[in-house]
Each structure stands twice: as structure tokens, then as C-alpha cells.
Chain A
Amino acid sequence: MRLRAALGLLAALLSGGAGTQPLDSALDDEHIPRILAFGPWPPPPVRDPSNRASGEPAAIAFGAALFGDARLSRDGSVSCASCHQPARGFSDGLPRAMGLQPGIRNTLGLHNLGGQRWFGWDGANDNLWAQSLRPLLDEREMGSSLAQVAHTVRSQPDLREGYRRAFGQPPDADDERVAVDIAKVLAAWQETLVTPRTPFDDFRDAVARGDRLAAAAYPAAAQRGLALFLGRGRCYVCHGGPTFSNGEFADIGMPFFIGRGQVDPGRHGGIQALQRSRWNLLGLFNDDPARSTATSTRHVVMEHRHFGEFKVPGLRNLARTAPYMHDGSLKTLREVLRHYSELDENRLHTDGEAILVPLRLSEQETEDLLAFLDSLNDPPAPRQ
């Protein structure tokens, strides 16, 4: 265990030691376990037992091709890649998604999805293939149907051949089975979308192995931002772990009105949709007879507090996925930090999370947090 070796060394590491420039570090030994918990990165690939296409090269290749194929939409005008654009971290740069019709939420990026418990801002799906089927069928997105997707795959020779290669047999007459399988190859490809290593990962690994020179290369402003992230800001409480997300849901005081008399219920509605879904991990389409990844679905509980909660997003390569929040209402990360700095406590339920308080960030603290968030990009992005 490297932790013991690292304990007691962080101050020395970050002071640079002999022959290097001393750094202005706010980090101390108490931060080490939390820093190490943000890695290692990248995580080892893990197959999804609920998806027999997961990790299969032919399925991954077919999924990559289908991702940009507009034939899967109702009128042949929209593909997955229309909204999930690779150059934008697989998001679209818009406040709210625009498929065949305007959507109500910001388009989430698609990196680092493997192994997650919940998918989408409301966690309405417990697996990536069901989450991939949803936009195919949603009227506002690709507007297709199980029958149309299955018919398209059966009738187009290249798609029929891709299906045969992925599953070892041609598509059969069961529309739902074929459409779900298409979602499974889309999922198999998306599982391979992992953000690269970042300057933060180099720092984290240097701390783990007690490498003084490498640790000292991490910018002082990013160190101060990290100390704030772990300290007074308590950001790590929700944004913890290698993806910088606990994978759960929170109400951080964002508006949930989506128009006159309309409310986005967030997680509350997500749990209802999950429990109604034919394609959740407790259903017939799970390829794992043991239902070994269905623990969350079996035990999830719906309470009133879940109203207005949305998924805690990961923070890797965040610079590419602006604008931010479930409604895309904050254009830059600076605006996001201002939100946390000036948090409206009256907006938050008075009996809700006691963890959220206005951070009242100084200009310097804002810059430091931005420097830390920059270090989670590869390459570091221009400051917003």
C-alpha cells in the first residue's frame, strides 16, 4: 500500500524539495486519502453482464457505425451523433437538447459511462442499453419505434450484416428483441468512451508513489483549488471517486420549472419511470440470469426528497460540455461556481440537505477552483 509511504510526505512533495521551486500549497496529509480516491485513472474495463454485446469487438464496431446513422430515426434526419458530438465531449453545446423537437434538459456527455448505476439526469434507466434505446423512441429525439428500428435493421443489408456479425445470427421477427439488441451494440460502443489521463491524474499518481518532482509539477493554483474542493467547499462529498461523481442525485437549488405550470420532477420521476420500464435490470431483457448488477434496482427507494434532484455529473473533461446543469442554464464553469458561491438557501428545501451553504468564494478562490477543474481536462482547456 502506497498510502503509508505517502503519509507525511505531502508537504515535502509540494514544497518541491531541494532543487525545485517551493510551491504555495494548501494541501496537507489529511487530504491524501481523498486525493488517492480520485484514481487510479483510467479504470480497468469492465464488461456489463446484462449486455451480451458488451466488450465484443464486432458489436463495438457495429455500435460505432450505428451511432452516426440517421436511418435509425423516424424520418432519417437525426442520429445519436446529432446531439452527442465527439468534439463537444459527446454533448451538443446547447442549453437544452434539440432532436426532432426541443427537449427539456441539457444533453449529457457520454464519457466514462461503464459501470455506472444510473443513466440520464433523472436516472430513469439502470443500464446503458435501456438508456440508449430511450432516445431512439422518444418523440422529441429520434422519434422511432421498436417496429421501425427492427424493420430498418432487417431491411438494410449493411445493418443486417452488422447485426449478424455482432450476435452470430440475423435479426429475427421479434421487433422488441431486435431493437433492444441495437441498443445493446450502441451501449457496447459507448462503454469504450473513456476520457484520457489528465494533469491531475499525474499529480495523484505522483502522490501515491511519493514522487516529489512529479508532484511538484502540479500548478500551485490547482493545488489551492483542490484544497478548497476537499476542504471548505466540501465538493468531494458528492463529486468523489475516480469520475468525480458519487453516481447519485442531488438538489443543488437549480430551478425545476420548465414552463408555465410545468415542473421537471427529476429523480422522483426517474424512479417511477425506472420501475415502469420493461428494460430495467429486473426485466426479461437482462442477459445476466443471476441479475448480478440489479442490486440498486431491487433496493432503490422513492421519497419526497427526490423531487427536484438531478444526477451528480462527473467532472472529467468538463470544459468540453458547456453549458451546464440539467437545464443548461449556466453557460460557463465560472457561472457554476458563482451559483455555489451565492446559493439561494431559501430555494433549497428547509428540511433538505444540510451540506449546502453559500461558499462566498473570493475572486482568488474562484480562480483556484477553475485551475483545479482545468487540470481535469486533457489537454487543459482555455480558461472560460
Chain B
Amino acid sequence: MKRRLALVAGLRMAAEALACGETLGQDARRIEQPAYVLAWVSAPAPVPVGRHFAIDFVLCPRDGAPLPAEVRVDATMPEHKHGMNYRPSVSARGAGVYRAEGLLFHMPGRWELVFELRGSGAPLRLAQSLQVG
């Protein structure tokens, strides 16, 4: 019985994750954490090197988690020990929908894209690694 319940819960979470950001299209990438699913796409896609791009993303709280008061977006190149030369601006468009503008990856290679959810507690970091160029 316990195993069945766990399976159902797992399937429900997977369905939730897939449903999150479905308006972004089938190319949306997702980051899952216990309290949130975040789905994002870049504009233009794929993420270019040497040109500005924006990120449209949807944040889906799980199990009654609140939407954060603020979301910050940043990116670093861990191998090179540096970040971007630009600080993206994030605008909230309601119902967990956001747009980040002003990103620019000035080098090809592996970047780590970070979404930082800020509210009353400690910031929560949702990160995803991606190879560009």
C-alpha cells in the first residue's frame, strides 16, 4: 500500500512538472525542486553566444509553497571562474510568469544558469547547467 501511494505521489509530481510552463512550448527546460518546478525557454532559442537574449520562465509552487517576493537570474562559467558582464532584469507578469532580459553569454562553453527565489527566508537557488556554442 505504501509503495502504491509513493508511486501515485511520484506520478503526480511528474505530471505537475510536465504541466508547469506548458505554454512555453515543448522546448521548455525544467528545473525541479521539492517546493517548486521552474520551466524556461530562451529568446532567441537556442541560447546564442555573443548576443543578448531573454528568458521566459514560469514558476510553479508545489504543495502550497508561496510565490517568492523576488526572483533574480544570473549565470556563471564555473570553469572560468567568472559570470556575465551584464546583470539581467526580471519582470513579473503575474501568476508565476516572468521574463528576464539582458543576459549575454560572451564565451562558448559550459554555463550555469541560476534562478534565485527570494522571500522571507533564505534565498532558494535553482540552477541548471547548459553548454552553448
Contact = CB atoms under 8 A, between A and B. Distances in A.
Nearest to B103: A299
A246 B107 contact: yes
Interface in B29-80: 49-50, 52, 79-80
B87 interface: yes
A7 to B, nearest CB: 17
Nearest to A123: B85
A301 B50 CA distance: 16
Contact of A299 (B50, B79, B89, B109): B89
A143 B89 CA distance: 39
A249 interface: yes
Given A237-B107, A295-B101, A249 B52 contact: no
Contacts of B52: 295-296, 299
A87 B86 CA distance: 37
B2 interface: no
A353 interface: yes
A246 B48 CA distance: 12
Q: Is the interface of A mostly helix, strand, loop or mixed?
A: loop
Given A236-B108, A240-B49, A299 B86 contact: yes
A301 B85 contact: yes
Nearest to A349: B81
A238 interface: yes
Contact of A296 (B80, B86, B89, B107): B86
Given A237-B109, A240-B50, A249-B85, A354 B80 contact: yes
A132 B66 CA distance: 52
Interface in A300-316: 300-301, 305-306
A238 B87 CA distance: 20
A12 to B, nearest CB: 25
B133 interface: yes
A168 interface: no
B82 interface: yes
Contacts of A295: 52, 101-102
Contact of B86 (A246, A247, A301, A355): A301
Contacts of B107: 237-238, 240, 246, 355
B21 interface: no
A296 B81 contact: no
A248 B106 contact: yes
A352 interface: yes
A275 to B, nearest CB: 13
A305 B102 CA distance: 20
A299 B109 CA distance: 22
A299 B102 CA distance: 6
Contacts of B85: 248-249, 300-301, 306
A351 B83 CA distance: 13
B102 A353 contact: no
A241 interface: yes
A298 interface: yes
Given A238-B107, A247-B106, A248-B106, A299 B101 contact: yes
A354 B79 contact: yes
Nearest to A302: B85
A309 to B, nearest CB: 9
B79 A298 contact: no
Given A246-B107, A295-B101, 19 more contacts: A237-B107, A237-B108, A237-B109, A246-B50, A246-B106, A248-B85, A296-B86, A298-B102, A299-B86, A299-B87, A299-B89, A299-B101, A299-B104, A301-B84, A301-B86, A306-B85, A352-B81, A353-B81, A355-B80
20 contacts: A37-B133, A236-B108, A237-B108, A238-B107, A240-B133, A246-B50, A246-B107, A296-B52, A296-B104, A298-B89, A299-B52, A299-B88, A300-B86, A300-B87, A301-B84, A305-B82, A351-B81, A352-B81, A353-B81, A354-B81
4 closest cross-chain pairs (CB), A and B: A299-B102, A299-B86, A301-B87, A248-B106
Interface of A: 34, 37, 236-238, 240-241, 246-249, 295-296, 298-301, 305-306, 351-355
